[in-house]
Structure 1
């Protein structure tokens, strides 16, 4: 685990070197959903790819138009600039791109920073990050616009866009992540339902500046003046990047160790995990089936969450993951 969280000029190692070697030869599949508001990006070849294994963990790429998940984002830059991605695109750290473990390539997604409300559209054209604790790896440019360059990581929501550039969620709705049972867990009922996050009124900045060039000053944090604002930021490729600032509220980080259809199993696991911190069992309905999810927390910073997740994995709970609520 320690090797997976080594910094790589940003937040951590993103194993993009796996991309050209492992994924480039995968069979092409039907094109992924494509939005039209992220121009100037090398989208590469449309593909989904076969299941693959990295460091003993299996990943199952699949098309999912309803993908809507919360978690921790990281970013990567100079070490991978100019290299081929998993679908043959050339990685440009100054473009609006990202790496994801299982979404089709390319797929446009909306990424919202749940710490400051900034939201942008990026194109997923590579595989990664392969640290257990991260759900998406952003390009340097994307991280700049979301305001996470200095910190290196952030709590985010990731939503797939359809061909019209829309998400499955209604505009201005609550930030609710869709519970999904992973493919490799369906037969042993250890599903991992998504987190639920609600929104509240936090107004955006009043003094946002327009910036040019590949490196921009991070946008100011939201202040209590106006409900929502959209900012146009010029890019070197003559296109315009839209950065919207949306209302968010304070969120908490939990580690989900598992979810069960049998309450007694969930309760037993919760009792065993109580030595690692506050643990609880909560009920959630997934596709008409009741699940009892076991979570430890809350924890109040990403470093603490990383350590708790590592402890759970080392204790044999390999399906544990960080969720934001």
Structure 2
């Protein structure tokens, strides 16, 4: 568990780094001479071994979804949800994990734009919009986390700087996956793995193609009148630990949108029967102002139980903790358009 300079405690699971083996130079020459007498599979082994011995960075990082896991009594279910959209609170992490492997085997660089998410496929591309200042940025998700209740995304330090919330530690955000770009990223990595066993061919590699697109304003915000979203800065070019000419280029431009008011609630749950929702409301009556509202989700009626609205993140964290202790470990902070 870490406590960021300004943020809340964040839990993260890291893969241990394997130490590289050092071999004497004479052993390398002997190995090369022996392997050159063999066929294609041995040729591939030679190239890989020579790269490790010489100290050149080996290609790493892979596509991963992962199995369900449990943290602090809450189950998380990673999945290929290419329609994912969520609002909530983002935090950031940096120095203590800098240079260490991410959950999918890449190397975490706090000075690049990347992020940790509990369930999205790794890697994937998402657009993160700071609902407090309108800044919006495409982010590469390549790690798991945050595991602190009340947070939906852990940005790298650089990402938090560019979105304007490094000093305050948290921000109200909207996170939405970029479906086409994420699918292209998945396919590029899967194809790369499938081609690992192909014989090595000579010739230069194709240079990556650079592409960009204009994105509409996120829900809950309207673009400034008579002007397209304004590019205010450029994030550092995203560097990955793998090389693939088929991989989509990350759009590193920062766009700014007009800001709309938001408000926060603690959602204890959503129930298909009003009686169940009403019982939860009664149980939480001592926590704060509790309301039951009816919503239509995928053609079905649900009754959601919420506490609030709440004025700030500190208040939301306190109420969230109270709701969890009352027996609702899956409770979460919801940010939505509205007054306050």
The question of whether the paired residues in 1 share the 8 Å contact of 2:110 and 2:156 is answered with yes
Offset at residue 73 of structure 1 (A): 0.1
Write out aligned runs for 1:249-288 (5 A): 249-288=260-299
When residues 110 and 308 of structure 1 are mapped into structure 2, their CA distance, relative to the original with a 3 A threshold, is: same
Task: Indicate whether 1:229 and 2:251 are aligned.
Answer: no
Q: Does 1:163 align with 2:180?
A: yes
Q: Return the match for 2:94 from 65, 77, 93.
A: 77
- Structure 1 regions of 5+ residues with no counterpart? 22-41, 176-197, 204-223
Cα drift, residue 199 of structure 1: 2.7
Partner secondary structure for residue 254 of structure 2: strand
Say which of 2, 9, 12 aligns to 2:5: 9
- Please give the secondary structure, in 1, of the residue aligned with 2:142: strand
Counterpart-to-counterpart distance in 1, 2:86 and 2:235: 29
The 3-state SS of whatever aligns with 1:276 is coil
Contact 2:162 2:235 (C-alpha < 8 Å) held by counterparts: no
Contact 2:235 2:254 in 1 (8 A): no
Aligned to 2:105: 88
Deviation at 1:250, TM superposition (A): 1.0
Q: Which one has the largest radius of gyration?
A: 2
TM-score by length of 1: 0.72
1:248 Cα deviation from its structure 2 partner: 2.5
Work out the CA distance in 2 between the residues paired with 1:129 and 1:138. Answer: 9
Aligned CA distance change for structure 1 residues 135 and 230 (closer, same or farther; 3 Å): same
Match of 2:82 in 1: 65
Q: How much is the aligned-residue C-alpha RMSD, in angstroms?
A: 2.6
Deviations along 1:21-56, whole A, 9 cap, x unmatched? 6xxxxxxxxxxxxxxxxxxxx982101111122233
Q: How does 1:114-193 map to 2 (within 5 A)?
A: 114-164=131-181, 172=216, 175=219
In 2, the alpha carbon distance for the partners of 1:129 and 1:258 equals: 20
Q: CA deviation at 1:171?
A: 5.1
Change (3 A) 1:93 1:171: closer
**Structure ranking higher in helix proportion:** 2
Cα offset, 1:288, TM superposition: 1.3
Q: Which runs of 5+ in 2 are unaligned?
A: 17-58, 184-213, 240-249
Q: Per-residue displacement from partner, 1:293-317 (whole Å, max 9, x unpaired)?
A: 0100000100000000001101111
In the alignment, the residues of structure 2 paired with residue 71 and residue 240 of structure 1 have an alpha-carbon distance, to the nearest angstrom, of: 23
Q: Distance in 2 between matches of 1:231 and 1:266?
A: 45
What is the number of residues matched between the two proteins?
254
Change beyond 3 A, Cα 1:174–1:160: closer
- Alpha-carbon spacing, 1:97–1:43, altered in 2? closer, same or farther (3 Å): farther
2:274·2:303 contact (CA, 8 Å) conserved in 1?
yes
